Structure 1
Amino acid sequence: MKICKLNLILLLWCCSSFLYAQEVDPGTANLFVQDELKLIASDFSFTEGCSPDKEGNVFFTDQPNDKIWKYSTAGKLSVFLDKSGRANGTYFDPKGNLVACADINGELWAIKPNGKIKVLLADFEGKQFNGPNDLWINTKGEIYFTDPYYKRDYWTRTAGDLSSNDVYYLPKGAKQARRVADGMIRPNGIVGTADGKSLYVADIGAGKTYRYSIESNGDLVGKQFLMEYGSDGMTLDEKGNIYLTARNGVLIFNDKGQMIARIKVPHGPSNLCFSGRDKDVLFITAREAIYTLPMKVKGIE
């Protein structure tokens, strides 16, 4: 009887040790040095939608304050645009315009370097979008964006015109978008590969991330479940690793969906991108703060 009890104790200890081992921080995967994470500023309301221009300067939004900020490669902060349409996600198009998800009226805006605004998209088949949230633009200038419904306190409407939260595609120069992915609870973070062949979409409502293949006509096919995590924002590095934002930091996965590293961030991250002249500095928006982290790998933006 004593032997059986001893064996049971050993079994329980081994099982608990195994479970604990699965929860151990995966480390850095030789991609960064945790102690080099740097707080740049922490006096915002809610930072989001960061994107680098060709020089490596970062533009990011502070949605509650209705502003788009610029963080230069020289380390200087300045307001790029006031009255930004409550911009959320952003991305630069091939012409150097900053395309923004203007959440106030559910539109997509193209903002020129001088701040001049052009509305690219205002509705879907005559109905207002839920609230374009995040976007990715390929080298051809074609746009993919997520459209989840999040009730804003600055909206007068109390419900969405559309009955579902989906992913849309806007061909270059087109005046109407088309729905290319549905069946999600609340799609949010989105990013595509450098070759334009694959698109990652995070369904933050379901806590899952998927990979799609992009057809020559822009359609998405071959939906593949990748990982049991959702994300507010996403980016990729040159090795194909996928960076997701989580409550306690940035989670890094390889292209097979296996977690390989975690960046600990004091404020919960909302979005991220690679910045700097060599695209080797990770820029992280994190609620009221922004951070930078030198990387041993480059981004693909």
Structure 2
Amino acid sequence: MNQNNSCYRLDDPRFRALIQPNARLHQIATGFEWTEGPVWFADHNILLFSDIPADRMIRLTPDGQVSVFRTPSDYSNGNTRDRQGRLVTCQHGTRSVTRTEVDGTRTVLADRYEGKRLNSPNDVIVQSNGAIWFTDPTYGILSDYEGYAAEPEQDRHNVFRIDPRTGSVKAMITDFVQPNGLAFSPDERTLYVAESGSSHDADVPSVIRAFEIGEDGEIISDRVFATIDKGLPDGMRVDSSGHLWSSAADGIHCFHPDGTRLGKILVPEVVANLCFGGPRGNRLYITATTSIYLIAVNAKSAV
């Protein structure tokens, strides 16, 4: 385990209440190809995450013990838990969203929309009512690096919702260049979605958009919530007080619910995603290119 001096950038005095000034950024595991999709399982005291190009999912314990959870993983990317504690995964290889059942089998929740194959589901979250939301950019079919190169069958790169009652798939947001990470506010009235289209087109703004949604997921309004000034937004999480913590090229950017950037946790590798975890829920696990980093914060997950 390597220990580096903490490196905070303070943009607003309110950030002080969310960080531990004496905490250090720990590199707790390294040697991966491209880490993504961290999800904390408190009942097992483990972190699961994807190593996408290596086609595997990794299990990590708090003391830094690493083992393979699943290989091949069908080029898994984003992961989350549903309200029953089951693993829900976006798979580039099968262009699907799956759920791992308690017996270890996998159920396909979505792999087509209007009869056509999805692009490459990227990130996923589960609402308290059981609805599953996921993004569907084309990263997994652009080459053979994170999936299998293929021509897209979908006309757009959508944000989809899987109905908790019927299992039907509906395109809820259809105007993204490349939708990526997504998260709900604590009251679930706001859905945040990252626009990462600048990865291949510099003219696309690196923004996080906020959508006011109704009880059945209908979009009521849409606004730009925040802009990432280094790189682009990828995975993100919301804490119990409504602050949004987003990945970026230089680390983690933390935003107040009003959209003000409060500060940054600077990380020496490009960050893809993050999640809250640890025995007390106040540790931030960071998937950053080839490594996993850990730092204590004064925040816990909204769910």
Using the size of structure 1 for normalisation, the TM-score is: 0.87
Aligned match of 2:206: 207
Q: Would the aligned equivalents of 1:124 and 1:176 in 2 still touch at CA under 8 Å?
A: no
Task: Give the secondary structure class of the aligned counterpart of 1:29.
Answer: helix
Between the aligned partners of 1:240 and 1:226, the Cα distance in structure 2 is 13
Q: Aligned match of 1:239 in 238, 241, 244? A: 241
Aligned runs of 1:136-175 on 2, under 5 Å?
A: 136-150=125-139, 151-153=142-144, 157-175=149-167
State yes or no: 1:298 paired with 2:286: no
Question: Which moved further from structure 2: 172-181 or 265-274?
Answer: 172-181
Mapped to 2, the partners of 1:40 and 1:137 lie a distance apart of: 28
Q: Return the alpha-carbon distance in structure 2 between the equivalents of residues 202 and 247 of structure 1.
A: 14
Give the equivalent residue in structure 2 for 1:223.
222
Against the structure 1 CA distance between its residues 216 and 153, is the aligned structure 2 distance closer, same or farther, given a 3 Å change threshold? same
Matches within 5 A, 1:1-301: 26=11, 28-33=15-20, 36-55=24-43, 57-150=46-139, 151-153=142-144, 157-205=149-197, 206-229=205-228, 230-301=232-303
Mark the runs of 5 or more structure 2 residues left unpaired by the alignment.
1-8, 198-204
SS in structure 2 opposite 1:163? coil
User: Which secondary structure does the structure 1 equivalent of 2:53 belong to?
Assistant: helix
Say what the alpha-carbon RMSD is for the aligned residues. 1.8
Deviations 1:72-127 (A, max 9, x none): 34543222211111110011001111100011121011013553211111211111
Instruction: Work out the CA distance in 2 between the residues paired with 1:119 and 1:167.
Output: 18
Extract structure 1 runs of 4+ deviating beyond 3 A. 154-158
What amino acid sits opposite 2:185 in the alignment? Answer: T
Alignment check: 8 A CA contact 2:29 2:66 kept = no
Is the 1:110–1:117 Cα contact (8 Å) retained in structure 2?
yes
Provide the rounded CA distance (Å) in 2 between the counterparts of 1:173 and 1:59.
28
Change (3 A) 1:300 1:40: same
Letter in 2 for 1:162: Q
Distance in 1 separating the partners of 2:191 and 2:259: 14
Report which of the two has the higher share of strand: 2
Moved more, 260-269 or 166-175: 166-175
- Give the Cα–Cα distance (whole angstroms) in 2 for the partners of residues 298 and 214 of structure 1: 24
Q: Say whether the 8 Å CA contact 2:10–2:262 is kept in structure 1.
A: no
| 8 Å contact from structure 1 (residues 249, 269) kept in 2 | yes
- Which has the larger displacement, 140-149 or 151-160? 151-160
How many residues are matched?
Answer: 278
Give % identity. Answer: 28
Contact 1:32 1:293 in 2 (8 A): no
